[in-house]
Structure 1
């Protein structure tokens, strides 16, 4: 289930396997030019931005300078 995007076109998914406890679901990120390989990050939907925005979690699909000095979370409109 896609839950977010970045300004660079990266797609962020919440991996929600059938029958698996939601507390154990992971986050998957793919860049706009990535292959079919989708690396999973052992962070849930809330833990992912908490790790990524302060820079403690590095994601290969993101540019090396992500996040910038003043990251902002903007909810998408329906």
Structure 2
């Protein structure tokens, strides 16, 4: 998975987060988090397109979307 992404705990949070980000003008897409990131296989990634990762995190945090981890590049997690 390349690019900037935010890992959330469920597909429900992923699509809710995507919708919130898009309303704020941020391109976003949802995909299942790869096993390198989510060993349990139940997490989903919101891929961030045209905005800073920090801005997207602030927006999701304000909307009470629980973030599991964030990253950028190739599987970089913080």
Scaled by the length of structure 1, the TM-score of the pair is 0.31
Scaled by the length of structure 2, the TM-score of the pair is 0.31
Using CA pairs under 8 Å that are at least 6 residues apart, name the structure with larger relative contact order, 1 or 2.
2
Comparing both structures, which one devotes a greater share of its residues to strand?
Answer: 2
Which structure: larger Rg?
Answer: 1
